[in-house]
Every structure is written in C-alpha cells, then in structure tokens.
Amino acid sequence: MEKKKVRIVHYINQFFAGIGGEEKADVPPGVIEKPVGPGMALQGALKDEGEIVATVYCGDSYFGDNLEKAQEEVVELIRKYNPDVVIAGPAFNAGRYGTACGAVAKAVTEKLGIPVISGMYPENPGYEMYRQYMYCVKTGASAATLRQAVGPIVKLALKAGRGEEIGTPEEEGYMPKGIRKSYFHTERGAKRAVDMLVAKLRGEPFKTELPMPVFDRVPPAPPVADLSKAVIALVTSGGIVPKGNPDRIEASSASKYGKYSLCNIDSATPDKFESCHGGYDRTYANENPNRVLPVDVMRELEKEGVIGKLHDYFYATVGNGTSVANAKKFANAIGQELKEAGVHAIIVPST
C-alpha cells in the first residue's frame, strides 16, 4: 500500500524567509506558497513523500511584542492550507526565533490539533518553555548545523504527519518533552533501582530513569570589607533603559545589553527612563523606574556615607526568555568591565 504524501506548512522568521535582518524584524505574518530558506533543504530530504505547501513567516520582534495576536494570525494562515504537520524552524540558539517557534507549536497543537516538529539548541529558551507542545530535534548553536538537523526533522515530520506512533526520544532522535507516561516494565522498580546502585558502586555504566537538571554552582564572593569606601554598580535584567530604548534591546530573548550614564542623575525619573521588558506589566516600572533601578535610594546611601560612591554607569538588559549562553556572555563582559573600573560590588535589582 502506497503511503500518503504528507502536507506540511513551514514556519520561519523574516531572516530565513529572505525578507531582511534586524531592520525587518517587525514585519507581520505573511505567506509564501513554496519552500524557501531552510525549507529548500527540508523539501529536498522529503523527496516525494511530503510537500511543503506553504511557508508562513513573521518578524521576530513583531512576534515577541504581539505574542497573542501573532499566534492567532499565524494559526489562521496555517489553517488555510490544511496541513498534516507543521515544521517550525529550526531555530538553533536564536532566542527570539526559538520562542516564536515554540509559541507557534503551542497554538497549533491547542487550536488545530496538528503535530509540530522543530529543531533547537538545548539552551534555546523556546525549547524549555514549549517543549511539551512539539517534537524538538537537537541542533547546534548556529545555522551551520542545518544539514545535520534536516534528516531527523524530516523523519519525525513524515511519521507524525501520517499519524504513525512516535517512540521515545532515544528511539526517534528528539529531545525530551518533559512528559512522563506510565507503562508496564518487565522488572519491578525496586529491582531496577538496586541494579543501578550496584552498577554505580562498581563503577559500571548505567542510565537513570529520572535524569535531574544540572545547575551551575558559583562560589559567592567575599563580603565587602568597608561599604563606606566601596564603589557600587547597578546592573539590571529588568529592562530599564533611557527613554526611547536607544540600543533597541529586545523585549524578549535579548541579544544585547546597554551601558548608560548616571552622572548628575539623582533619580530614575519617568521623563528620562522607561522599561523595555516584555515579561511583566511595565505600568509601575514606567510610572517610577526607581522601582526596578533604585538610583534614588543609592544616591541617598551615597550622601549618608553608607556607601562610598554609586558607579557612574549602569548596565541593563532583558532577562525574559534570554538564553543561558547570552546571559553568561553578558555577565562576563559586564563583570570584567566593572572590575577594571574599580567597582567593589554590584546590586542586581529584581523585577
């Protein structure tokens, strides 16, 4: 019996659609009725077993700034083509793109009941936030790894599109979805646990049935010896920036941070500062930016002699959806610069 030809809609961002780079990141959703960008490689691997009937695209900034609206618009565009499966990305380690692909997967799964296949670097926030809504193939950090990702994505897309049963992550080559299912095993859990313990004691290889997350452990710095002589800096992921957001720091999945002067500034007033953060209600932060960036209190402590001096510059980015890799990169760069500037301690205000 001949297998059915799978109908596929491919979701990509404005860059991979060939529309433009960051200057076109605010473009609204649209359709190209053929495979483009990475879709060409996917279609080549699909051969005659599947067809990308349409490519739906959206600018990363537009999607991040209009999440619910963008989801609805993209879903309606996808619905028109009645696909068997949707491929989103792959997004590699692009945070905003990955978050958009994940949000598309959630909307398509919940509203259309159609399976979604994607590909991301494991640290992409889109995977962690939306993994339960998609089968996500592990990729490298950049688009240079597209060739390695195409095969596993196409294999999953064809199986899902035909309604065939998809096995475990180890069997099918996708990353865990974070969903646990009960099943009957040939051996009791107690015996399996003892077998693993014995293997561990013997130094033999074993595989846990409940892998635990691995967290960085950073040793705390020693306390400041004398605050009255210390230079203190403010660094925030709460998105407080000069009015107008001159560095265009993204509201979600930030790819940059900003450095801004506090010289001759006694308070972060709303006429000069605002929040560009997309992960919380900015009303109260914009009403009084000191609530996130406490310049006013730091100046009071400076005048009272509690601290020696407030550093002349503060650093700001957005933590919402920002990848671990970017966060580490920002922290290393900011920390090195503050160390060279003679700063003794940093206050990181919470949102």
| 229: CB partners within 8 A, 6+ apart | 308
Buried b (16+ CB within 10 A) or exposed e, 195-222: eeeeeeeeeeeeeeeeeeeeeeeeeeee
What is the model's pLDDT at position 186?
87
Helix (H/G/I), strand (E/B), else coil: 225: coil
At 305, list the tokens. Answer: 């002699």
Which residues, at least 6 apart from 321, have a Cβ–Cβ distance to it below 8 Å? 64, 95, 96, 99, 125, 126, 129, 252, 253, 279
Structure tokens at 341: 């500037």
Residue 2 has pLDDT above 70, yes or no: no
User: Cα(189)–Cα(181) distance, rounded to whole angstroms?
Assistant: 15
Q: What is the three-class DSSP state of 249? A: coil
From CA 15, how far away is CA 24, in angstroms rounded?
A: 8
- Nearest C-alpha neighbor of 295 from the set 234, 350, 243: 234
- Provide the 8-state DSSP code for 224: P
Q: Does residue 83 carry a pLDDT above 80?
A: yes
- Round the average pLDDT of the chain to a whole number and report it: 91
Yes or no: say if 120 and 135 are a contact pair by the CB < 8 Å rule.
Answer: no
Nearest to 104 by CA among 83, 73, 142, 146: 73
* Residue 158, pLDDT score: 95
| Overall average pLDDT of the 44-71 stretch | 93
Cα–Cα distance, 286 to 269 (Å, whole number) = 9
Phi, psi for residue 2 in degrees, rounded to 5: -75, 135
Q: Could you tell me what percent of the chain has a pLDDT over 90?
A: 71
Q: What is the tens place of the pLDDT at every residue in 14-28?
A: 999 999 988 888 899
Instruction: Please state the separation of Cα 312 from the chain's center in Å.
Output: 31
Please tell me the predicted confidence (pLDDT) of residue 327: 87
% of the chain exceeding 70 in pLDDT: 99
pLDDT for res 323:
74
Q: How confident is the model at residue 1 (pLDDT cuts 50, 70, 90)?
A: low
pLDDT of 335 strictly over 70: yes
Reported as a pLDDT band with limits 50, 70 and 90, residue 350 is confident
Q: Which of 283-287, 311-315, 326-330 has the lowest mean pLDDT?
A: 326-330
pLDDT classification of 251: cutoffs 50, 70, 90 = confident
Q: What is the pLDDT at residue 215?
A: 76
Domains of the chain: 6-172 (3.40.50.2300), 227-347 (no CATH)
- The residues, ordered by sequence, that sit 6+ positions from 176 with a Cβ below 8 Å of its Cβ are 131, 169
CA-nearest of 151, 101, 108, 156 to 130 is: 101
By the 8 A CB rule, do 36 and 9 touch? Answer: no
CB-based contacts of 342-346 (< 8 A; 24+ apart in sequence): 342/231, 343/231, 343/232, 343/233, 343/311, 344/224, 344/230, 344/231, 344/232, 344/308, 345/224, 345/230, 345/231, 345/232, 345/233, 346/232, 346/233, 346/234, 346/235
β-bridge pairing 85-92 and 50-58: unpaired
Residue 291: DSSP 8-state = G
> Distance of alpha carbon 214 from its chain centroid, rounded?
18
Q: What is the amino acid identity at position 109?
A: T
- Residue 256: HSE in the Cβ half-sphere, 13 Å Cα cutoff: 11
Q: Calculate the CA dihedral of residues 317, 318, 323, 324 and round it to 10 degrees.
A: 60
What is the per-residue pLDDT for 123?
Answer: 85
The stretch 212-228 carries a mean pLDDT of 85
pLDDT of residue 146: 92
Residue 278 banded pLDDT, cuts 50, 70, 90 = confident
Flag whether pLDDT at 144 surpasses 80: yes
